[in-house]
Amino acid sequence: MGILDRFSLAGRTALVTGGARGIGRSLAEALAEAGANVAVLDVNIALAESTAQDIQKLGVDVLALALDVTDAARVSKVVEQVHAHWGRLDIAINSAGIARRSPSEQIEEAEWDAILDVNLKGVFLCSQAEGRVMLAQGSGSIINVASMSGQIVNRPQQHAHYNASKAGVVQVTRTLAAEWASRGVRVNSISPGHTNTPMTAHASAVDRATWVSNTPMERLGEPADLQGAAIYLASDASSYVTGHDLVVDGGYTLW
Ligand SMILES: NC(=O)c1ccc[n+]([C@@H]2O[C@H](COP(=O)([O-])OP(=O)(O)OC[C@H]3O[C@@H](n4cnc5c(N)ncnc54)[C@H](O)[C@@H]3O)[C@@H](O)[C@H]2O)c1
């Protein structure tokens, strides 16, 4: 098989959590462009449905389903629904995530729990449900969206809970990769740098200037900058890669 064919996802089936907007949407579009049928899963079902309608125009089969990644029973049910719809699940991208800012001395327990629930427990619950399906079929690729904040302390924003949750995502990814490697299921993560999405849209001009000046490429990322990494990790082009955290940050973590 030629190298470009090994990047093709024609006939594969995929799901993307947090797929309604931002990075998740961009990765769902990329999967569809590469030929995969895609389920867009999001807590915001109205937006997931409108995103799904747009992606369907790329000529693949698309589903939109409501999912709160912190709800274990719902996670199992929705992953089973996707599996039942297409008869298999080849690719799962777990992108749902939230961010809050607070100096550590002011973080309240409820805020800590909310961030860890969505960003870390949610990734584990989704990976677990997706992994069960993929282990039974003997193949699959799971891609968790972590962050460069799992490796470095981002600035000027202060968010210990977010940083901790993303470091956790990287280590959960490595752990699942080791456990499932011999059974055909690969688990990797992508760690974006500062990326222009609705999550970062509220950032002040000062914050943005700080981020740009700390980035060797002197610009913020765009969601499309992450598409190549996702297609690589989803496809047979990365068939010997597991437990890897692929940083896509314009060089931010070099300094
Ligand atoms: N934007 C950045 O600079 C950046 C950088 C590094 C990592 N990330 C990570 O990338 C991922 C996507 O971020 P984004 O910038 O696209 O954010 P975003 O806010 O634009 O999109 C996040 C999506 O996740 C959904 N979501 C939130 N909570 C959910 C839940 N409990 N269950 C299901 N869906 C839920 C939202 O409805 C939304 O559609 C996140 O995990 C984020 O931490 C973002």
Residue nearest to atom 43 of ligand 1 (CA): 97
Atom number in ligand 1 closest to CA 194: 3
Is residue 162 among the annotated active site residues? Answer: yes
Q: Give the distance (Å) from ligand 1 centre to CA of residue 96.
A: 5
Q: Give the distance (Å) from ligand 1 centre to CA of residue 118.
A: 10
pLDDT value for 21: 98
Which domains are seen in the chain, by residue range?
3-248 (3.40.50.720)
Task: Write out residues in the chain with pLDDT < 70, as ranges.
Answer: none
Residue nearest to atom 42 of ligand 1 (CA): 97
Q: Give the distance (Å) from ligand 1 centre to CA of residue 42.
A: 10
Residue nearest to atom 8 of ligand 1 (CA): 147
Concatenated DSSP letters of the chain? --HHHHT--TT-EEEEETTTSHHHHHHHHHHHHTT-EEEEEES-HHHHHHHHHHHHTTSS-EEEEE--TT-HHHHHHHHHHHHHHHS---EEEE-------B-GGG--HHHHHHHHIIIIIHHHHHHHHHHHHHHHHT-EEEEEE--GGGTS--SSS-BHHHHHHHHHHHHHHHHHHHHHGGGTEEEEEEEE-SB-STTTTT--HHHHHHHHHTSTTSS-B-GGGGHHHHHHHHSGGGTT--S-EEEESTTGGG-
pLDDT value for 166: 98
Atom number in ligand 1 closest to CA 119: 41
User: What pLDDT, in 10s, does the model give residues 33-89?
Assistant: 999 999 999 999 999 999 999 999 999 999 999 999 999 999 999 999 999 999 999
Residue nearest to atom 7 of ligand 1 (CA): 147
pLDDT value for 255: 95
